[in-house]
Structure 1
Amino acid sequence: MKLTVVGAGSTYTPELVDGFARLRDTLPVEELVLTDPATDRLNLIGAFARRILARQDHPAEVTTTSDLDAAVDGADAVLLQLRVGGQTARRQDETWPLECGCVGQETTGAGGLAKALRTVPVVLDIAKRVRRRNPDAWIIDFTNPVGIVTRALLRAGHRAVGLCNVAIGFQRRFAALLGTDPADVHLDHVGLNHLTWETGVRLGGPEGENVLPELLAGHGDAIARDLHLPRALLDRLGTVPSYYLRYYYAHDEVVEEQRTKPSRASEVAAMERELLTLYADPALDEKPALLARRGGAHYSEAAVDLAAALLGGGGPPYQVVNTYNRGTLPFLPDDAVIEVQAAVGRTGAAPLPVGRVDPLYAGLMASVTAYEDLALEAALRGGRDRVFRALLAHPLIGQYTYAQTLTDRLIAHNREHLAWA
């Protein structure tokens, strides 16, 4: 089995390699190709990847190359983890929206739109090259904003599934609180990427007992602290929202925090410098503890499970993924990309049935889906007016003066990445 990681110069990559090493029975990788245009980082991380595999006696061959076509040739699955513009662009995404009193974040709001505009054309070009070399390869997208990027891939006819680590993080956290094996915890997870709610926590599978009320009663304070939301809100909702919902439920509070604290991009950039120094140590052969603070917790387990299921090697029978709606949520278009539990196999992901969704959540999902429609059109076709329309539609923006100013600033900060600007 050959797997290719595009964007492998990321400091995330050792987390992924560690998962391949630990979970070899689930996903027997024989050849791992790491590709990235940043050759210095790629070679450093490639050497570290070989040491990680060697420490765990994993026989996979690791190849590094900046030649994308060679990297994807013959691959069974291609994992995308790109950051077009690097941490510099992320820092801008988190900064200039604040000038209008809007949240600065790389996956939602104006910053999220900027990232989508930079990313979608690049990902589609990569996918086209993958299909030309190997039309049967699966593309697993971990690149944010996952919902918009996955929708672009699916609309273009690619064999693609989107992946996020939010659900598996909740599963692991709830299992620890309940004192049970994560494999026994099934989430009633519903929403869009980075806009999700856990409406049930079931033991043993989709038909198992829902222990969410007991979980909130006994551990609500701890869960609320993790989310930086008040316990009283969780009690009133009776659900556990993704921590990304804080940008909606406490928008002004978050904006004030962002104005007075260092940006997440600055923190990550500092961590990355330290991580790269650690990775360069020829004696290091296991992922360092610092990597856990980088983000992307449990990314490797989620990626291994998904790749194994798509390639026919097993994995959990149900997984939370991003895929076409196809009537699962009747208040959204069939071609909306939703994030729900799905049965995953060689033919792709089939969402499990979802019960009635509270209008409190359905309304926000519908609003953000409309924004994503417009965002994708802006990413595919360009143009100042399409950017403006997407920003005006976003529920975190909504006012024409903000949308107009943010359009100007988005284009000014991203001109080098926008072919039409």
Structure 2
Amino acid sequence: MKDAIKIVTIGGGSSYTPELMEGFIKRYKEMPIKEIWLVDIEAGKEKLEIVGALAQRMWDATNYGVKVYTTLNRQEALKDADFVTTQFRVGLLDARIKDERIPLSYGMLGQETNGAGGIFKAFRTIPVMKEIVEDMKKLCPDAWLINFTNPSGMITEAVIKHFGWKKCIGLCNVPVHAMMDEPKLIHKELADLTYQFAGLNHFHWHKVFDKDGNDLTDELIEHINDRDAGTPVNIFEEPYNIQLLHSMHTVPCSYHRYYYMQKEMLEHSLDDFAHNGTRAEQVKRTEHELFDLYKNPDLHEKPAQLAKRGGAYYSDAACECINAIYNNKNTHMIVSTENKGAISCLDDDSIVEISCLISAQGARPLAWGKMPSSMKGSLQLMKAMEECVIEAAITGDYGKALEAFNINPVVENGRNSINVLNELLVAHEKYLPQFKTTIEKLKEKNIYPKDKVVVDLLNAGH
């Protein structure tokens, strides 16, 4: 066991980085970190410098002597790393604005990780992850890659299944939100409960048991529409159909609202879009406020306002995952990893989001058992969609992209689907070299985005 850990964070200029530092500081006595490298790109240089200075102040306020380095040179940072965390967004928030505005302008769901927007986030991110893995193979071949870049499940599947980096675990804050907020609904403490999760990233279900093994899932379902029931701030809390959940005898994750109450969630999204702009535009304003706070030379802790960002607990989960690996703790966590038979209706090498024990060997998934038909059917459909997305992201195959759109439940089929696909391809041309030939043909046909905000972003070079 090394007694001087080197950690590299790619996307180090993210507003989430102070939470990451807080998590490492909290666990320092278990993990003797020597140095942390924050990596970003030229477009994120200013934010990287601001966050890097705050991160160093946070460590300087302790007695631990950890050095924080900032760099735009990924290869320099990765040399001999022990753990690499990824939290980047290709194209920054302006890309997310396009992901959300273009579908919404056609009356379809515009959301960061679901539907057309989530597919395009994967298209932009998977090729970059391939480059990162290639660098790691040369510079830190024994390092663990802890990914919480969205869409986390698809990114993790590409890394493990297609790029051959087995020492990779994907994380999400949604299960953490559930476990932090749900126990109080049934007058329990988390320490008194056992949670069991299974499914895909942003498409999982869970059950809960007490210390004696009694199943409390139905009791929890009765309160799942209560306020503060574990829904992240970025998801509208449309009430679930309680009878449906009792029939399934599971609690769905917050994102299932987009599938179970598709019409209502779309109506709310369109109304919010008309009055407040997209979630991405709202987040951009929140980020501006956060970085103004981060600039304060007297600030040396994570500000409370970070909770408004929508990704609370992501970074703390990454720290706990690293801690569990480093100290061989066999900690129960919900992560994206190889299925290995834990969900019987999916392939063994599929990446699933599931309850695992995390140790020095990585993630060991805990078997869920047989899924009822309704859950099995939707799960297999979503996995098929993910597989099409990953293949299209790697190959630039327009037909595979179209297949992914066609089977995604929240992407409207027909002419609008084609229009959204084509406009998103052109809008993201800068970050989609694998689709270069297709995009050139679309532009020859004079196919360009029509939304004014997107047009303005493109004219400004974003």
Question: Shorter-normalised TM-score: what interval?
Answer: over 0.9
1:338 to 352, 360, 364: 352
How is 1:255-404 mapped onto 2 (pairs within 5 angstroms)? 255-261=266-272, 262-311=277-326, 313-315=327-329, 317-397=331-411, 399-404=413-418
- TM-score relative to the length of structure 1: 0.93
> By how many angstroms is 1:244 displaced?
0.7
How is 1:172-321 mapped onto 2 (pairs within 5 angstroms)? 172-178=180-186, 180-198=188-206, 200-204=207-211, 208-217=213-222, 221-222=226-227, 226=231, 228-230=237-239, 232-233=241-242, 234-235=245-246, 237-261=248-272, 262-311=277-326, 313-315=327-329, 317-321=331-335
Give SS of 1:221's match: coil
Contact preservation (8 Å) 2:109, 2:115:
yes
Amino acid at match of 1:7: G
Give SS of 1:397's match: coil
Most deviating of 177-186 and 98-107: 177-186
May I ask how many residue pairs the two structures share in their alignment? Answer: 417
Most deviating of 68-77 and 296-305: 296-305
1:247-275 Cα deviation digits (max 9, x unpaired): 11122222222222221101110011011
Q: Matched residues in 1 for 2:398 and 2:223: separation?
A: 50
CA RMSD of superposed structures (Å) = 2.0
Q: Structure 1: 5+ residue runs without aligned partners?
A: none
Q: Matched residues in 2 for 1:385 and 1:220: separation?
A: 40
Amino acid at match of 2:325: L
Contact preservation (8 Å) 1:26, 1:315:
no
**Correspondence for 1:4:** 8
- TM-score relative to the length of structure 2: 0.85
Q: Matched residues in 1 for 2:223 and 2:336: separation?
A: 31
**Correspondence for 2:444:** none
Amino acid at match of 1:191: G
Contact preservation (8 Å) 1:221, 1:231:
no
Contact preservation (8 Å) 2:27, 2:323:
no
**Correspondence for 2:40:** 36
Q: Matched residues in 2 for 1:41 and 1:211: separation?
A: 45
Give SS of 2:15's match: coil
Q: Matched residues in 2 for 1:202 and 1:323: separation?
A: 23
Give SS of 1:32's match: strand
Give SS of 1:222's match: coil
Give SS of 2:31's match: coil
Amino acid at match of 2:255: Y
Q: Is it true that 1:22 corresponds to 2:53 in the alignment?
A: no
Q: Matched residues in 1 for 2:224 and 2:342: separation?
A: 31
Q: What is the identity percentage for the equivalent residue pairs of Structure 1 and Structure 2?
A: 35
Amino acid at match of 1:413: A
Q: Matched residues in 1 for 2:215 and 2:30: separation?
A: 28
Amino acid at match of 1:321: V
Contact preservation (8 Å) 2:19, 2:316:
no
Most deviating of 137-146 and 179-188: 179-188
Q: Structure 2: 5+ residue runs without aligned partners?
A: 437-462
Contact preservation (8 Å) 2:328, 2:358:
no
Amino acid at match of 2:170: G
Give SS of 1:30's match: strand
Contact preservation (8 Å) 2:357, 2:365:
yes
Q: Matched residues in 2 for 1:126 and 1:225: separation?
A: 33
Contact preservation (8 Å) 1:73, 1:134:
yes
